Structure 1
Amino acid sequence: MTRKPAIEDAALALFASEGFEGASLGRIADSVGIRKPSIYAHFRSKEDLFLSVFKRTLRRKQQVLFRQVLHGANRPFEDNLYDLAEHLMDEYESDAETRFLLRMSYFPPRSLHDEVMGLVNPFFEQAERSLTRLLQRKENAVRLHPGGAHEAALAYVTVLDGVLAEAIYGSRDTAAKRLKAVWPVYCRGVLRP
């Protein structure tokens, strides 16, 4: 294994647990077993390392989310989407990549705010478009209010945003309670009576 992936892995772990400001290049180098100047052979700066880790993590999570949605494509979409929200809450608790991605999407380093948002916003726009296409499938569209696929997708992203923010700010338990409370309201709002 080249040192670049090892440096990125160590940086991810520290960025996820300590944030951008708390993760020093010295500590990243120590956890890889190299000297700090060796990092500069692969990355121009701490910001460059952060963006590399963020882009890599975003790509990986995009693939995981896509597989998660496809895995339940034969089930009622509302069950699949509920399970996706629960999966993301579980992942936030147990997976450094998810924790890093969510924390840094909500609280990007001030010096990298525009670059991070330039990556995050297209990610969520693509997720919304993909979800809209899923909801436009005949088996789903007939269950929605007429022309409601885009609205149902946007509403889901909004629900998910609120639930994940609660997982970050509060706890998994409070986020789960909020999801459980809002889910019937979401379903009544998007499904035909």
Structure 2
Amino acid sequence: MTRKPVIEETALELFASEGFEGASLGRIADAVGIRKPSIYAHFRSKEDLFLSVLAGAMRRKKHSLSRYVLSRAEAPFDDTLLGLARRLMNDYEDDVETRFLLRMSYFPPSALHDEVMALVNPFLGQAERGLTKLLALPRNARRLHAEDAESAVLAYMTVLDGLLAEAIYGSRDKALRRLEAAWPVYRRGVLKNDGDANRE
């Protein structure tokens, strides 16, 4: 019997390229090399398969992004945030799982809107809280203009949202050009100058 992960991996690729509506269970079964009824041994419906694929992709992306941030624990936080933005835009172009996650987050299937948002919103909330903790560390907080780290993170998430939308609607190159233009403005808005930070 075909293993569940093989079905999910194949479904992810088709959902990413053709959307929820375009990726029928018959197409998924054909791509796996099984008959359509075999899918029902693992999933109740196409909707069940889609939500399982989405939840798994989110778990893996959360782990990957957390590892990236932790690996840069000693780097200036603004460099880490810039690297994170670049990484997400590159991943959107090069990684089918990231492409799937972003497309489904921005354009969830209408029939599954509430279920998708019930997964996406906690994911984003956890990301905001994690970055806020990072910026609230004393070595980072003393560099901030903002009254608190939360303001700097909310501003970052707003910039990131616009950049990822550009990557989806336009291209990675256009999004990266916007990032290079916007990033110095963001830094000036949230960071004290070096002299001010060093005097504290």
Per the TM superposition, whether the score is higher than 0.5 is yes
Q: Alpha-carbon deviations, 1:24-70, whole Å to 9, x = none?
A: 11111111111001001111110000000000000000000101111
Q: Give the secondary-structure state (helix, strand or coil) at the position aligned to 1:88.
A: helix
Q: Where does residue 64 of structure 2 map in the other structure?
A: 64
The residue number in structure 1 matching 2:166 is 166
Alignment-derived partner of residue 4 in structure 1: 4
1:75 aligns with 2:75: yes
Secondary structure, counterpart of 1:152 in structure 2 = helix
Q: Which residue of 2 aligns with 1:37?
A: 37
Q: Secondary structure at the match of 2:37?
A: helix
1:64-108 C-alpha deviation (Å, 9 max, x unpaired): 010111111211111111011101111001111000000000000
d(CA) in 2 for partners of 1:137, 1:15: 40
Q: Distance in 2 between matches of 1:140 and 1:2?
A: 50
1:122 aligns with 122
Q: TM-score, normalised by structure 2?
A: 0.94
Task: Say if 2:22 is the partner of 1:22.
Answer: yes
Identity of aligned residues (%): 70
Amino acid at match of 1:26: G
Which runs of structure 1 show a deviation greater than 4 angstroms over 4 or more consecutive aligned residues?
none
**Alignment length (residue pairs):** 193
- Aligned mates of 1:3, 1:28 — CA distance in 2: 14
TM-score by length of structure 1 reads 0.97
Distance 1:136 1:148 in 2: 7
Q: CA deviation at 1:148?
A: 2.6
Letter paired with 1:78:
D
CA distance in 2, matches of 1:82, 1:152: 13
CA distance in 1, matches of 2:89, 2:77: 18
Gaps of 5+ in 1: none
d(CA) in 2 for partners of 1:173 and 1:10?
28
Name structure 2 gaps, 5 residues minimum: 194-200
Q: Residue 47 of structure 2: SS of its match in structure 1?
A: helix
1:146, CA displacement in angstroms? Answer: 5.1
